[in-house]
Amino acid sequence: MASGATTKDGVNIAYDDYGVGEPAFVCLPGWCSDRSQFSPIVDQLSDRARTIVLDWRGHGESDTPDVDFGYDEMTHDVLAVIDAMGIERIVPVAASHAGWAALELCRRLGDRVMGLVFMDWMVMGAPPAFITGLRRMQQPDGWAEVRDQLFQMWRGGGSNPGVEAQIAQMNSYGADTWMRAGREIEAAYQRHGAPVEVLASFDPPVPTMHVYAQPADPEVLQAQETFASEHRWFEVHRVDAQSHFPQFEVSDEIAGLIEDFASKL
């Protein structure tokens, strides 16, 4: 099932290919994670359409280049996989801050991106405290502390085995990867502002769905619902789960929401 695609700069990108039919779901893991992040939902998604799940460079089974990289190179990783598979129409399914790469795919591929799915992302913008944490994450004496704080927050007080396995997998990455993640995520928010502002700039708009569990604050959901009422191409669903990784807690619900969204495209 595992295959590889080579980018223009010679980096081999590992991916899994399931199912048939387009638009294909292209699943993009978050930073410091690999394609196992989508394992709870990939079978159900691939029953509907072709489903591609990749590892970013420097992650999982993909090559780790000797040179630095960021979102621009990660976007090239996705494009290399899409080109290798001959896929014309896609629906990116982006976990957390992989959303920035998904937005860049919209700019580069235009109407070949039929819709966007974001999972547990700060679509309304990053709070100042989060930006402060990202800056601390970029420091050699701070990244591990911030990582551990994130792990505690992401558990949400629960002890789901899938969530614990996901956190253990993320814990296998070292300083270089976590510090790079902090740099790239902060730079994206500083450059682009809130993800919904980027989405609102697309003409024509791209149908978009955000599915999340954290935070449980009703004001966060209300802000997104207000945005959705003013922008009919956007929808939001908060699921009843505790962690930052609801696909491990309510996998059928997450996959069902994505399938329903795709059926309307």
Residue numbers annotated as active site = 244
12 beta partners: 6
Tokens of 119: 């999972």
Selection from 1, 25, 20, 16 nearest residue 255 by Cα: 25
Residue tagged 């410091």 (tokens)? 32
Q: Which pairs with CB-CB distance under 8 Å and at least 24 residues apart come from 79-86?
A: 79/105, 79/108, 80/5, 80/6, 80/7, 80/8, 80/13, 81/5, 81/13, 81/15, 81/26, 81/52, 81/54, 82/26, 82/52, 83/5, 84/3, 84/5, 84/6, 85/5, 85/17, 85/24, 85/52
CA-atom Rg of the chain in angstroms: 17
